[in-house]
Structure 1
Amino acid sequence: MKFAMIGAGAMGLRYGILLQEAGNDVTFIDTWQPHIDKIREQGGVYVMRDHKDRHLTKIKLETPETFDGHPDMFIFFTKQMQLQDYLDRCSHFFHEDQYAFTAMNGMGHIEKLQKYFADDKIIGGTALIATVLPGPGEVDFMGKRGAGKMNMCPLNEKPDAMCQALFDELQKAKMNPTLTDDFTGTLMTKVIFNSVINTICTMFELPMGEFGNFKGAYQMGRQLIDEAYDICARADIKLVSSRDEEMAALDHNTRIDMPLHYPSMYQDMIKDRPTEVDYINGYIAELGRKYHYEASTHLFVTQAVHLAEFHRQNLAKQRAIKAKQEAPAAQTA
């Protein structure tokens, strides 16, 4: 198959490189100039797995303005707040026969994709796969080959030949896909999962295992999960796992599968990028309001993450002021 990967960040590189290694034609499309410059300078991306075996992998890289191909499918892996800009800049090479697949974190992206692609050509997904972008031009796949898993479901909940072809290629790429039959329930189940792990680990700057081994982790996670599940019940959203199954998945993922991993939201915050908390906990809270349910814990956590962002921004300003004040003194000495 011919793929165009919209967004060559951590997850975009992991999906795209593994699909490339499985024999597919993959072109990456990105807008982050330092990343683009480094990849072109190196002749590819340096790939590691669990910080080891660093090696150069050649990839085809374009910007929205230079790409003129006609892939079978676009795979979207941008941040929620970046997606609209990518869509606007890429829209000139979208065609009616092409499909769009995404396994982005949070909610809000599907409605944006619907403005450019027909409902029967949109496939949504979720990924429990850890990947880190240490800096421009390099990526670190966390976990052994075949680690992690994902769910996928077409928006119209009617898998066609192209959906099956995508499933087959993801299977060859060792992404461990599962084809589900409830689109909204599939996506919301992952949003709820992230509303615990991503936000708590980001607020306190913790690796996932440290949270998982904290004696109060179950109570904290259960409070967030119960609120979200209560809201989904009011909204008639059928989640793909029960509350107890979600708690068990959280426990296993944090303590067993990826104890040393820092979630993507944390990675954004420490690099002074906006987090996606408004599209995760904030989305759950807004959905609650729609159905007359005040999700007080999710509202609190949303603001707590924003407070952590605000605090880091203030620290950066203070360091900049201090450095400016000390500079003349150092020159005089």
Structure 2
Amino acid sequence: MLNHNPRDILAAGPDAIAAAFGVPNSTPHPLADELNTAPLSRMAYAAGLAIRPQQPHENDRTVMARGMQSSDFAAMLAAAGTTLANRRFSAVAEHRAFCAEIECRDFKPTAICTTDIDSEMAEVGEQGEITQGRVIVGNGTEAQLRTFARYLRASRALIVNDDVGMLADAAAQLGTAGARTEAREVYAVLEANPTLDDGELVFHADHGNIVASAFDATSLGAAMAALRTMTLMGGNQADLPAAHLVVAADLELAARKLIHESGLQITVTATGRLTTGRWYLLPAPEVAPTVGVLKLRGASNPILVEPWQDEFAYDGAVMRARCDTGAVLVARTLIRGGV
């Protein structure tokens, strides 16, 4: 079944499976092309031979079955699956456009706060004196990274039949699931209107960040003005430009039409996870972060697919997809709209 050393085949495996999954690679392993007609079954067979040579009483499928249980085979599938899952995550996670990433050192509660200065820059005096300012820390809260996971099982029949398309689609769906899970956390914290460490709600009339009106041009204008004129912790005027409009599903058409006809440089994100009639107006996260999504320090991607040993012997290969995430409101410099 193989014309090369099993270890050479396994070395080409990641590139061969990635190519079969539709993941481009400008410098593939020289043997990768030879495996593209049957990448799963040939990888499983090579992994089985790497464990021990084929015995006289063993047929090819017996060797494949042994290889499917190996860490080498599962690791190759997991690597390609991670790429596909994160590609899909990026396509589905529309909420990320208005969120800032917040790195957590571990899974313990993490203190998060907003900083401001107590004044704008002052002119340097004739003698070169510079007015000192203070950094103000406030709007504190705690957030905790949580782990969400699902299993992905590739059956022996799927591997023997080289049903690459089905496996690739399943891996991509893990990215969809991860993005939807994170979106659920983001919209839940927006709707919850939590209390910050000063004992006050994020959204309150006293903070000037509520427009209690149905969405239309007038209420949007009021929200844009509020972002400009609200007062920050240090007493400065925010003067923030509106960059993101997040609306409930029933407002999507009206929101997109109004933004387009007005020629505003505002990105519209619609979701079915908000209360009917609800809308939010936010500044750009790189200008003034308001909604944060959590990530584990050192993590390069939201989704990690990894080999997994099932509690019970499974006739195939088992992987686990993990998404470490969470959501938190980190400032009051956003506007909530709706009746």
Q: Say which structure, 1 or 2, has more relative contact order (CA 8 Å, 6+ apart).
A: 2
Q: What interval of TM-score do these two structures reach, taking the shorter chain for normalisation?
A: under 0.3
TM-score normalised by length of structure 2: 0.19
**Which protein is richer in strand relative to its size?**
2
Return the structure number with greater helix share.
Answer: 1
Determine which structure has more spread, i.e. the larger CA radius of gyration: 2
